[in-house]
C-alpha cells in the first residue's frame, strides 16, 4: 500500500480513480502489506480516513501470513514473546495466541519479531534471551526500513532481526512476509484464484516483485515509491511491467479489456 496508493498519510491523487476503474472493469483487488504494526481495524480506519472504501477481508498483512505459517508448521505454539506494537498484540490474541511478559519465568513457545514503533531495549534483550534458550525465532517480514514521508528513518523488522542475530548468532527460522511466495499463495487461497491470474502491484523490487516471481504471478512495479527506473534496469529478475504510477497501469488495463 505505502508507496503504491499512498505515501504515509498522503493519498496519491490518482489512487481513488484507479480503484474505481478496477471495479468498472470487473476486477477484484486486495490490499497487501508487510507493515503489520497496525491491526486490520487500524488499517481500515486509515484507508477510510483518506477516502478509500475498504471491505472486511480486503486487507492481508505479513502478520496473517505468519499466523498461517505457525498454524501449519508449528501447531503446538500457543504462547509468543512479541516484539511488536500494541495493535499487533491485539491481532496476535485474535488469532488465538497468548502474549508473554518481559519476565524470565513467563516462558513463551516462540519469539515473534515485527515492526515495533514502541521498541524498548528491555524487549530486545528479552527476545535475545529466549532465542538463546532455543525458542523458535520467527520474523513477520524482512524490510530493513519502512517508507515514510516524514524526515526520519523508520527502523523496520529486518533491522531489529539483524540486531538479534548479531547478539545471538541465530537467524530467523522463518520470515513469512514478502518476498516469501507463501504470502501471495495464501492470498490466492483467500480470494480463490490461481497465481497466474493475479497481478502483484508494488513499489519494491526485492519484496513485491520478488514475491510475484517466486509465486508465478504477474509483477507490476510502480515508480511512485522506493524503486527507481535505474533500480528496475539493474534488477537480476526484471519485473513483468515497469510503470510510472497507477495511472499508467489503469490505462494499460483499460486498453487490454
Chain-centre distance for alpha carbon 195: 18
Strand, helix or coil for residue 209: helix
Q: Do 87 and 163 fall within a single domain?
A: yes
Q: How far apart are CA 240 and CA 220, in angstroms?
A: 6
The grid cell for 158 is 529486518
Instruction: Sort 192 into a burial class: Cβ within 10 Å, 0-12 / 13-18 / 19+.
Output: exposed
Cβ atoms of 2 and 147 within 8 Å: the answer is yes
The grid cell for 226 is 522506493
C-alpha distance from residue 75 to each of 68, 97, 105, 109, 135 (Å): 10, 11, 23, 11, 14
CATH of the domain at 209: 3.40.50.1000
According to DSSP, the residues that pair with 83 across neighbouring strands are 113
Q: Do 19 and 88 fall within a single domain?
A: no
Q: How far apart are CA 183 and CA 143, in angstroms?
A: 15
Q: Is residue 64 part of a domain?
A: no
Strand, helix or coil for residue 6: strand
Q: Do 80 and 162 fall within a single domain?
A: yes
Q: Is residue 28 part of a domain?
A: yes
Q: Is residue 48 part of a domain?
A: no
**Could you give the number of structural domains in the chain?**
2
pLDDT of 257 reads 80
Scan for cell 488469532, then name that residue: 95
pTM of the model: 0.89
pLDDT tens-place values along the chain, 257 residues long: 989 999 888 899 999 999 999 999 999 999 999 999 999 999 999 999 999 989 888 999 999 999 999 999 999 999 999 999 999 999 999 999 999 999 999 999 999 999 999 999 999 999 999 999 999 999 999 999 887 778 999 999 999 999 999 999 999 999 999 999 989 998 998 899 999 999 999 999 999 999 999 999 999 999 999 899 999 999 999 999 999 999 999 999 999 98
Question: Within 13 Å of residue 234, how many CA atoms lie on the same side as its CB?
Answer: 6
The residue range of the domain holding 23 is 6-34+178-256
Scan for cell 542475530, then name that residue: 165
Amino acid at each position: 500500500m505505502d508507496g503504491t496508493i499512498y505515501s504515509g498519510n498522503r493519498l496519491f491523487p490518482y489512487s481513488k480513480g484507479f480503484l474505481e476503474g478496477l471495479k468498472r472493469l470487473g476486477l477484484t483487488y486486495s490490499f497487501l502489506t508487510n507493515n503489520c504494526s497496525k491491526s486490520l481495524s487500524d488499517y481500515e480506519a486509515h484507508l477510510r480516513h483518506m477516502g478509500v472504501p475498504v471491505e472486511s477481508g480486503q486487507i492481508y498483512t505479513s502478520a496473517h501470513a505468519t499466523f498461517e505459517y505457525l498454524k501449519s508448521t508449528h501447531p503446538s505454539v500457543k504462547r509468543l514473546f512479541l516484539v511488536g506494537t500494541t495493535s499487533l498484540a491485539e491481532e496476535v490474541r485474535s488469532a488465538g495466541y497468548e502474549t508473554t511478559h518481559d519476565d524470565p519465568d513467563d516462558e513463551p513457545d516462540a519469539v515473534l519479531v515485527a515492526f515495533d514503533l514502541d521498541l524498548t531495549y528491555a524487549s530486545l534483550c528479552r527476545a535475545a534471551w529466549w532465542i538463546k534458550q532455543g525458542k523458535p525465532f520467527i520474523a513477520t517480514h524482512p524490510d530493513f526500513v519502512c517508507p515514510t514521508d516524514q524526515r526520519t528513518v523508520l527502523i523496520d523488522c529486518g533491522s531489529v532481526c539483524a540486531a538479534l542475530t548479531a547478539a545471538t548468532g541465530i537467524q530467523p527460522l522463518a520470515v513469512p512476509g514478502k518476498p516469501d511466495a507463501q504470502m501471495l499463495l495464501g492470498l490466492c487461497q483467500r480470494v480463490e484464484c490461481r497465481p497466474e491470474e493475479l497481478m502483484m502491484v508494488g513499489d519494491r523490487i526485492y519484496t513485491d516483485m520478488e514475491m510475484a516471481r517466486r509465486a508465478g504471478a504477474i509483477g507490476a512495479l510502480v515508480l511512485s515509491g522506493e524503486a527507481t527506473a535505474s533500480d528496475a534496469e539493474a534488477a537480476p529478475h526484471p519485473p513483468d511491467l515497469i510503470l510510472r504510477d497507477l495511472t499508467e497501469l489503469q490505462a494499460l488495463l483499460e486498453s487490454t479489456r
